[in-house]
A = this chain, B = another copy of it.
Amino acid sequence: MTMSEMHLKDALDTLKTTGVRITPQRHAILEYLIQSMIHPTADDIYKALCGKFPNMSVATVYNNLRVFREVGLVKELTYGDAASRFDFVTGDHYHMICECCGKIVDFHYPGLNEVEQFASQVTGFEVNSHRLEVYGTCPECVAVGGKKVQ
């Protein structure tokens, strides 16, 4: 069994135990998210699957992404004006984002617990989580001398 197949099986199990029905659309969205490396938007997913599901509504994609987020299968990466992007959850990692072409690349880094603790002490908040993104220019965009777009 490949890694992707294992992730899919685990995800379907999670849905089953959470009492969420497994529909062909949900199956396909999960499958797409697991194999995708691009951190797709809802519309990316819709476009990728509307060949297989000609009647599927964008609302279905949004609805299911919300369901997946609520049961912890998916993380939503939100940005201002631009559309949210979705990341199938496998483990903690951070994102490097190209300000020229929008590419998002994963990277792992040993936790930032000390920052969380420090922030908690100095603000008095109870800490739940944190979000770290690094912005820059990807090698491809550097090569063609790309300028900041988004």
Contact = CB atoms under 8 A, between A and B. Distances in A.
A109 B118 contact: yes
A115 B129 CA distance: 17
Best-surrounded residue of A120, A132, A142 (most CB of chain B within 10 A):
A132
Interface residues of A, number: 38
Interface string A82-122: 00100000000010101100000101010010011011101
Interface in A131-149: 131-139, 142
Contact of A123 (B76, B79, B96): B96
A52 interface: no
A131 B131 contact: yes
A24 interface: no
A98 B129 CA distance: 11
A21 interface: no
A119 B137 CA distance: 12
